[in-house]
Amino acid sequence: MKILTVNAGSSSLKFNLISLPEEKELISGYFEKIGLNGGIYSLKINGSKIKKEADMRDHKVAIELLIKELLENKIINSLDEIDGVGHRIVHGGDKYASSVILDDEVIKTVEELSPLAPLHNPANILGVKAFRDALPNVPMVGVFDTAFHQTMDKERFLYGIPYEWYTKYQIRKYGFHGTSHKYITKVMQEKLGKEDVNVISCHIGSGGSICCIKNGKSIDTTMGFTPNAGLIMGTRCGDIDYSIIPYYINTTGASLKEVDNILNKESGLLGICGESDHRDVENKMHENDDKAILANEMYVNRIVEYIAKYYVELDGNVDAIVFTAGLGENAREFREEILLKLGSLGIFVDRDKNMEIASYMDKHEGLISSEESSVEVYVIPTNEELMIALDTYQLIK
């Protein structure tokens, strides 16, 4: 089967075409500035990259270009070869604990959940509807970022607020990056040869979350009602004392909207040292920039705190700690800094093994803990697109 995976934003469209069950990527691409001036798109076929300019007034035009490229590059000979389309959808609320076929009822429910993810769900559904028009006979599947975390117990997903806030307004911890954490769980189940794996999955990129996985299921995660909870990130503040918000508003006269923007887009690493990309933070650290060193240390400490917390939640019965996503897969010194602070738990890094692994090097994944370590530590590249394709494949097969 050939499965198309789609991640639609308000002005963008990311896609992959994957052949299953062999898990072979046939083509991938990214359409940018849809509905804006200066539209461009890029494709990757057999390692070769192609970049083109194109005016795209809406997602329908982008999809027409996508299909045209699939046919002209002989990726498919006809649209009949596309067996399914898997759509990344950010928020499924507590309605969806797994991926589902996107029929009219599901689409309506996802639209009703838009207040929980106003920047993402409407754009995701825009992509679903455009693909339904372009490929009316092809099954559409929704894969939710929140679904994997629906196995959390109430004691972990509820906040210490009036209970009716949960029952009336759906305010609770949902967690995100679920597709990535689910993929890491699948890989570790295969690697360790058992279903009931206990894993601390560290998805560390410009956005970051850690997931506590017990017996193959998510029991806790760092992101909460929104992705702004938990870790310090590139531009997000992570956990803070809520009273900071009214204090800042009363002191400065800023609006709630302005503060929300600051906490999501001007905080985290960017707020501390002026750089949101950790590579730029590292460059400043090498120049002995005090704020860059401070930002990095704060980020490391927050990650260490949550790994230690989840180690305790698993009663020390941890099969593996896994680093994944852009920073987790590539920032070798950063990984080492984190692991050096976990020695009291009997977790130790093998510096040589750790330094060998990064996506721009020959070795992309592997074991980085020492033989003395009580817990094995791995670097595993995430593959959310493949996870979306696999879920789609299983549902339509």
Please answer whether residues 84 and 393 qualify as being in contact, where contact means their C-beta atoms are separated by less than 8 angstroms: yes
- At residue 328, the pLDDT reads 96
pLDDT digits (tens, 9 = 90+) for 61-105: 999 999 999 999 999 999 999 999 999 999 999 999 999 999 999
- At residue 11, the pLDDT reads 87
Residue owning tokens 């754009």: 123
Q: Are strands 82-89 and 48-53 parallel, antiparallel or unpaired?
A: unpaired
- At residue 253, the pLDDT reads 98
Closest CA to 189 of 316, 312, 319, 376: 319
Q: Output the pTM of the full model.
A: 0.94
Q: Hey, what domains does the chain have and what are their CATH numbers? A: 2-144 (3.30.420.40), 193-384 (3.30.420.40)
pLDDT digits (tens, 9 = 90+) for 310-325: 999 999 999 999 999 9
Neighbour order of strands in the sheet with 100-101: 48-53, 40-45, 24-32, 13-19, 2-8, 82-89, 140-144, 100-101
What is the distance between the alpha carbons of residues 10 and 126, in angstroms, rounded to a whole number? 8
Q: Which two tokens stand for residue 229?
A: 């909870």
- At residue 362, the pLDDT reads 80
- At residue 361, the pLDDT reads 80
SS (H, E, C) the chain: CEEEEEEECCCCEEEEEEECCCCEEEEEEEEECCCCCCCEEEEEECCEEEEEECCCCCHHHHHHHHHHHHHHCCCCCCHHHEEEEEEEECCCCCCCCCCEECCHHHHHHHHHCHHHCCCCHHHHHHHHHHHHHHCCCCCEEEEECCHHHHHCCHHHHCCCCCHHHHHHHCCCCCCCCHHHHHHHHHHHHHHHCCCCCCEEEEEECCCEEEEEEECCEEEEECCCCCCCCCCCCCCCCCCCCCCHHHHHHHHHCCCHHHHHHHHHHCCHHHHHHCCCCHHHHHHHHHCCCHHHHHHHHHHHHHHHHHHHHHHHHCCCCCCEEEEEHHHHHHCHHHHHHHHHCCHHHCCCECHHHHHCECCCCCECCEECECCCCCCEEEECCCCHHHHHHHHHHHHHC
What is the distance between the alpha carbons of residues 44 and 73, in angstroms, rounded to a whole number? 11
Residues with catalytic roles: 145
pLDDT < 70 positions in the chain: none
Q: Are strands 208-214 and 217-221 parallel, antiparallel or unpaired?
A: antiparallel
CB crowding 245-258: b at 16 or more within 10 Å, else e: beeeeeeeeeeeee
What is the distance between the alpha carbons of residues 175 and 220, in angstroms, rounded to a whole number? 8
